[in-house]
Amino acid sequence: MTRALNKLSASEVKNAKAGKHSDGGGLWFATNEQAKGKWFLRVVVHGRRREMGLGAYPAVSLKEARLEAEKWRGVVRQGQDPIKLRDQYAREAARNMHLLKDIALDAFETRKAELKGDGTAGRWFSPLELHVLPKLGKVPVTDIDQRDIRDTLAPIWHEKASTAQKAMDRLGICLRHAAALGLDVDLQATLKAKALLGQQRHQPQNVPALHWHDVPAFYQSLNEGTVTELALRLLILTAVRSKPVRFLHLDQIEGDVWTVPAELMKGRKGTTSDFRVPLSTEAQAVIEQAKPFARDGLLFAGVRRGVISDATMSKYMDRRGMKERPHGFRSSFRDWIAEATKTPHEVAETCLGHVAGGKVERAYRRTDFLEQRRALMERWGNLLLQQKAKVVAF
């Protein structure tokens, strides 16, 4: 530090040849054959030599490099490592900015306990992750206004109305979370953005479904014995959603009852209990056919790992030129119950895994109608095999 300072002139820096050039006091200018130059400072901290970059030339001039070098030499004189201190400053600055991506993650963490499976499926966070954070994630949350939100969600506001609404709702939660942290945010920003975006034109469409009269023919066409076809057959036979079928583990089956863990069920707000599914004779036969394909106890294992994907059965129906979707078989089953049986409403809804009745009513009704559903599912299985279905009366 006792060596002479300010050895270089602005002209010498501008015309410097490739190599390293000392300005004194540990400040160096390095350049290469492409005339690209950069500044760096050499210091000794706790007996160890350190080099820290001070920026590229000409963006950082000779004068600016000298001022920066003197600042960090002062840090060294105080016995501190300038590189570590600069990194600390950068981290603190990032924290103080309170970027939306950090606020969103924090908001998600605080709400995990309220979400199904602690939010492991990612459905709460995915609208933000896919449609908001790519554009606004690195923006300080205090800077976000209705115009930012409008410009971000405008591309999907009408085309993906449901997703856009979810993203807007999640963003509103993030802003309220930021306000609770003491940040100066505009809590009306999402409402103002909605006013700018206008009324959504999209009308929700029901999932296309086969008429129940046509389901037996389709069911019997699934005769190749592939994993996909067997999964579709069991889905149709049990009228459950695709996720419980895809994640069916052999340990969940005992006799003619399949117990679906609560975390795999949807639409059962107000209950955390597992769901029992009575297996018809045909359903049990399908399970036996699928067992040779099982891996690690999972009945419908994927080709390489895990289970078959959520799109596997839908793509199969696509390839057959069908507009209907696997989820639609639940509607086919429900229509059959309504039109061809005299099943009580509570039993019919329970077959679909729905929670029927109000909170008080459910508190007194402890049954899941297993025996009634067992008879009904056997009738449904017989229908799919083209055995004549009779009116079911309980």
Contact 376, 341 (CB under 8 A): yes
The residue that leads in pLDDT, 332 or 93, is 332
Question: Which of these ranges, 26-30, 202-206, 226-230, has the smallest mean pLDDT?
Answer: 202-206
User: What sign results for the dihedral spanned by CA atoms 122, 125, 129, 130?
Assistant: positive
pLDDT score of 171: 96
Q: How many other C-beta atoms can be found within 10 angstroms of the C-beta atom of residue 346?
A: 17
pLDDT score of 357: 55
What b/e sequence results for 127-145 when a residue is b if at least 16 CB atoms lie within 10 Å of its CB, and e otherwise? bbbebbbeebbebbbbebe
Which residue do the tokens 């995990």 mark?
A: 112
Nearest to 294 by CA among 251, 343, 341: 251
The residue that leads in pLDDT, 389 or 192, is 192
pLDDT in tens, 11-56: 998 888 889 999 999 999 999 877 789 999 999 998 889 999 999 9
pLDDT at residue 174 tops 90: yes
Alpha carbon separation from 222 to 38, 215, 233, 266, 323 (Å, rounded): 69, 11, 7, 27, 17
pLDDT score of 360: 44
pLDDT score of 364: 43
pLDDT in tens, 126-160: 999 999 999 999 999 999 999 999 999 999 999 88
Contact 293, 301 (CB under 8 A): yes
Peptide bond into 140 cis (omega under 30): no
* Maximum average pLDDT range among 33-47, 323-337, 342-356: 323-337
Which tokens sit at 344? 């009580």
Per-residue confidence at 3, pLDDT binned at 50, 70, 90?
Answer: low
Which residue do the tokens 């600042």 mark?
A: 71
Percent of the chain with pLDDT over 70: 89
The residue that leads in pLDDT, 89 or 232, is 232
How big is the chain, counted in residues? 394
Per-residue confidence at 386, pLDDT binned at 50, 70, 90?
Answer: confident
| Average pLDDT, integer, range 239-262 | 94
pLDDT score of 120: 61
Q: Angle, to 10 degrees, between the axis of helix 146-153 and the axis of helix 189-197?
A: 50
Whether the pTM exceeds 0.85: the reply is: no
pLDDT at residue 286 tops 90: yes
What is the number of alpha carbons within 13 Å of residue 136 lying toward its C-beta?
A: 28
| Average pLDDT, integer, range 343-359 | 82
pLDDT at residue 303 tops 70: yes
